[in-house]
Structure 1
Amino acid sequence: MSEANTQLSLLQRELTLFRFPKRSKEALQAWDAGDEYIIRYVEELNLPDNLNILILNDNFGALSCWFSEKNHVTMMSDSFISHQATLNNIDLNQTKSIQFLNALDNIPEDVDLVLIQIPKNNRLLTWQLSQLRARLTKECPVIAVNKAKEIHTSTLTIFEKHLGETKTSLAWKKHRLVFCQANSQQINSVDPITEWAVDDEDFSLKNYPNTYSGESLDLGARFMLKHLPSNPSVKNIIDLGCGNGVLSVKLAQLNPQAEITCVDESFMALASSKLNIKSAIAESNRFNFIANNCLDGFSQESVDLVVCNPPFHQNNAITDHIAWQMFCDAKQVLRNNGKLIVIGNRHLGYDDKLSRLFTRSKVDKIASNSKFVILQATK
């Protein structure tokens, strides 16, 4: 497999851009044709310098790096990974520093231009557009981009309803631009939280817009809830990729003596976890919430149990490198005889990956059904 191009050469300018975390023999590029399309379009407008530009959902910082050279950029994203990638790429290219906001922060005042990488999650898009409508003047242009096949009539309806008048460009390299103004007749109030009860459990879950499985419990978590351990000797637990905290709530009920650390790269997921744990667990002071890339910076041999429902995609790319890093990091932080419990689709072959790390004799199958397998690896 060939290594990804790291040099964005455009309009007689060049940026060096890396994904985060930076990996040797990286096959995936840190920008796409959508980034190039929006850069070309904005540069052709010949706008003045020193604009206040708000960039939403910049994947690895290509847009933020490009436009920060001559403007004041605020990058707003729900992704810790995106924040770190952007910060690293700004340092690498020695462009001007920018302001970082997460997706629950307020939209800044006095914005001159908004650029959006349209998210896959329509709840997040709706929330972001409603926040823009409440803050922007109708003179502020909003330019969004996505793959043409991902811009549906329903996508444009969301723009029209929650922001204002909407038009689209011709397709270029399979991407399309969306042009919008904050001039809808009414400002639609959007509740950022969706709440629903967990079947067969005594608690409900609140979910901010970009929380994984924010509208219903995913099947993997539903299966895993039935197979979480209760062990009075366990003192420290990490819920790695915690999402809305459903596993953490159950683990806390089963292990009232344990301190639990919720880790996720989504700021909205962590905010959801805080709400849910505070609601369901009386002594919620035994929890920690950390936005992070897997377990970067955690102390080695400090934890008794790690539970993990790994993602198998990063942005639009299907990849197993996140799961592999989660497994490697978990092994580092586990004490001797500590356990890693993982759930995954049967076809993903996590048993082979865990056996490479922990040896075959230390990997056991806890449970399985037609779709999922739950594995336990012992250090």
Structure 2
Amino acid sequence: MPIDSDSGTPPSDSNRNGNGDSHQLDTPFGSFELDRFPKPKMTRGKQQPLRAWDAADEYLLQWISEQPVLTNASPKTLILNDSFGALAVALQQWPCWVQSDSFLAQQGVMTNLDNPGNSLTSDTTSRKPELLTSLQWPEQPIDLVVIKIPKTLALLEDQLFHLRNVIHSETVVVAAAMTKNIHNSTLSLFEKILGTTTTSLAKKKARLIFCKPQVDSWQGVSPYPSCYTLPEFPFTVHNLANVFSRNGLDIGTRFLLEHFPQRPNAQSIIDLGCGNGLLGIHAKHLHPDAHIHCVDESYMAVESARLNTEAAKSCGFIHGEPCEMTFEVNNSLADTADASADLIVNNPPFHQQSVIGDHIAWQMFTDAKHVLRQGGELWVVGNRHLDYHLKLKRLFGHCETVASNRKFVILRSQKR
């Protein structure tokens, strides 16, 4: 049965920030209580206005509800890049897989699915969507693919190539984003990798993308992980699709490498927000007897760090007895023991998905203070305009500028 790409009515305005309940999402599939993860803190007695969904989520659900070919069939559904579970919670009555590269997003999905008020039927437990990392894919054919367009086009490109292994010519593929985040390059990826692509009218500044898989004309494979070499390292650097600065060493990391701390007596060093792991690998090179722990909230980042560590071991760049480096996907240092690290190096991100702010850096700095032993140090590299020194001084009581240039600053705080 054909599906009308322009059908659907604008989502309700009742969930705009400042109007109605900022936690309640009203959809054709039911009303649900949704929170972001981590849950926003109270600010001056008022809840922060950020919601766990946007108009693109509402538009997607409205359109899906108006397609009898879907609503009458209980399709096997794959959801990609669901921010905090708006799509997973609403579509949980169908066999469903939810894939994300973000640990925080997955925790948000899980938290909102576990909310008793969001259960659709008494047998929800047996149908609860299966959560997949960005390195995992369903093992059976999918009838409906629902995509929230990610911030990184490389991630979308990699996902579209991998989708070829789980979809068929009749699979319904629908994607959504706010209009400002859909470009010609976005549509070109769908057209080039999967098949004929069209778009909907814009509703509340959101737009849908429809793609008809053309299985017989598929060519090529995903270009990820991408690889490059650096004068600083005698091995090839591997980067999966969603790794920051995947085509070359970012200038903040290079600046920190030039001024990297050397602590001969350090037993435990943490690369916090490790990305592709190059800071952690360099730490191991300088401190062969120390245990190095790489942590990030991106599954692709941690896997890239693992790949690069193996490459560094094979060429003898890192060694020691034992040559110990460990890797963890987590929300900052949530499960790391207090007073367990001698040195933490950190190149913090300043956005969570499309939301820009300093909340992630603040959590990282706070966690680092708890995890550092007395006398341990936190070294941070960041853009000068972010004023991280103010936060570090507030937390640690002091902050020293180790080095600076026109764009970046390296800061050091010691736990006293």
Query: TM range, normalised to the smaller chain?
Result: over 0.9
**1:153-194, CA deviations, whole angstroms, 9 ceiling, x for partnerless residues?**
121111011011111100111111000122151232123211
1:34 aligns with 2:56: yes
Structure 2: how far apart are the matches of 1:12 and 1:74?
A: 18
Which of 163, 176, 179 is 2:194 aligned to? 163
Distance in structure 2 (CA, Å) of the matches to 1:102 and 1:373: 34
Distance 2:161 2:251 in 1: 31
- Equivalent residue for 1:368? 404
CA distance in 2, matches of 1:135, 1:220: 38
> C-alpha distance in 1, partners of 2:227/2:384?
30
Rounded to whole Å, the distance in 2 between the matches of 1:233 and 1:130 is: 47
- Partners of 2:308 and 2:374 in 1: CA distance: 31
Q: Is the 8 A contact 1:34 1:176 kept in 2?
A: yes
1:216, distance to aligned residue in structure 2 (A):
1.2
Number of equivalences = 376
Q: Distance in 2 between matches of 1:310 and 1:369?
A: 18
Instruction: Tell me the equivalent position of 2:293.
Output: 261
Contact 2:288/2:323 (<8 A) preserved = no
Say whether residues 1:43 and 2:75 are aligned partners.
Answer: no
Distance in 1, Cα, partners of 2:34 & 2:73: 23
Provide the rounded CA distance (Å) in 2 between the counterparts of 1:162 and 1:9. 34
91-100 or 301-310, larger mean C-alpha shift? 91-100
Displacement of 1:2 in angstroms is 7.2
Structure 2 CA distance for aligned equivalents of residues 22 and 120 of structure 1: 21
1:349 pairs with 2:380: no
Q: Which residue of 2 aligns with 1:78?
A: 101
- What SS does the aligned partner of 1:134 have? coil
> Is residue 153 of structure 2 the alignment partner of residue 115 of structure 1?
no
Give the structure 2 partner of residue 174 of structure 1. 205
| Alpha-carbon offset, residue 35 of structure 1 | 0.3
Which residue of structure 1 lines up, in the alignment, with residue 361 of structure 2? Answer: 323
Q: Please identify, of 200-209 and 219-228, the stretch whose mean Cα deviation from structure 2 is larger.
A: 200-209
CA RMSD of superposed structures (Å) = 1.7
Look up the SS of the partner of 1:35 in the other structure: helix
CA contact (8 A) 2:194 2:218 kept: no
- Counterpart contact for 1:107–1:131, Cα < 8 Å: no
Deviations 1:24-54 (A, max 9, x none): 2233111000000000000011322532110
Q: Is 2:26 aligned against 1:9?
A: yes
Percent identity over the alignment is 43
Cα distance change of structure 1 residues 222 and 197 upon mapping to structure 2, 3 Å threshold: same
> 1:144: Cα distance to partner?
0.3
| 1:188 lines up with 2:200 in the alignment | no
Q: Shift of residue 301 of structure 1?
A: 0.4
**Paired position in structure 1 for 2:45:** none
Is 2:95 the counterpart of 1:63? no
Match for residue 213 of structure 1 among 245, 269, 283: 245
Matched, 1:22 2:60: no
| CA shift digits 1:261-303 (9 cap, x unpaired) | 1000110001100010111135485111100000112110011
TM-score, normalised with respect to structure 1: 0.95
Equivalent pair of 1:49/1:71 in contact (CA under 8 Å): no
* 1:242 aligned residue (243, 258, 274): 274
Change (3 A) 1:12 1:249: closer
Contact kept in structure 2, 1:264 and 1:292, CA below 8 Å: yes
Separation of aligned partners in 2, 1:104 and 1:318: 26
CA contact 1:107–1:132 (8 Å) conserved in 2 = no
**Matches of 1:110 and 1:38 in 2, distance apart?**
21
2: distance between equivalents of 1:241 and 1:94? 34
Contiguous gaps of at least 5 residues in structure 2: 1-16, 43-47
1:286 paired residue number: 324
SS at match of 2:411: strand
Larger displacement relative to structure 2 (13-22 or 137-146): 13-22
8 Å contact 1:19–1:60 — kept in the other structure?
yes
Using the alignment, how far apart are the partners of 1:19 and 1:378 within structure 2?
32
Single out whichever of 303-312 and 104-113 deviates more from structure 2.
104-113
Distance of 1:115 and 1:225 partners within structure 2: 41
Paired AA for residue 90 in structure 1: L
Offset at residue 146 of structure 1 (A) = 1.0
Separation of aligned partners in 2, 1:343 and 1:82: 25
1:120-172 per-position Cα deviation (integer Å, ceiling 9, x unaligned): 21211111111112331110100000121221112111101101111110011
